[in-house]
Amino acid sequence: ILKETNYVTLAKDNEPYIVSLSHSYDEEAECLYIHCASEGKKLDFMRGNPIVSEQALIDHGYHHGECSHLYVSAVFKGKLEFIEDLESKKKALGHMILHQEKNPESLLTRLKAFQAGSPIDKTIVAKIVIEELT
């Protein structure tokens, strides 16, 4: 499920607010890579509490006449860690590009060319290290 979905959600404290995150799942590292803007609710939530509990869902749709809605989901808990160094950011973003893009080659080429001092320095990149998955 984590490989097939494009978004997961998180909530802050006891507030009934959900934020969707574009992500990619690294099965070997048992983590999700995410990125976001350099300001806003997503970043506020991530900085406010690194412990996350999230759900990823694949919706197979409602089956008319059967009173049934088919879906599969994964619920996981983990810890969010910001990625600061250039090479680790490039690795995480490359992983996301491979997951999200149908034709990733040109974006991967551009990503490889980024050096320190480029816009990638301002990009907020993090990983959620999965500690529990059901």
Residue 129 reports pLDDT greater than 70: yes
Helix (H) or strand (E) holding 134: none
**Residue 116 — pLDDT band, cuts 50, 70, 90?**
confident
Mean pLDDT of 34-48: 89
**Residue 20 — pLDDT band, cuts 50, 70, 90?**
confident
Residue 15 reports pLDDT greater than 60: no
Mean pLDDT of 25-32: 96
Within the chain, how many helices (H) and strands (E) appear?
Answer: 3, 6
Domains of the chain, by residue range, sit at: 7-133
In this prediction, residue 7 carries a pLDDT of 65
pTM, rounded to two decimals:
0.83
22: number of Cβ within 10 Å? 14
Q: Half-sphere exposure of 28 toward its Cβ, with a 13 Å CA cutoff?
A: 2
Q: Determine whether domain 7-133 maps to CATH 3.40.980.10.
A: no
Q: What angle do CA 2, 58, 6 make, to 5 degrees?
A: 50
In this prediction, residue 17 carries a pLDDT of 58
Helix (H) or strand (E) holding 60: strand 51-63
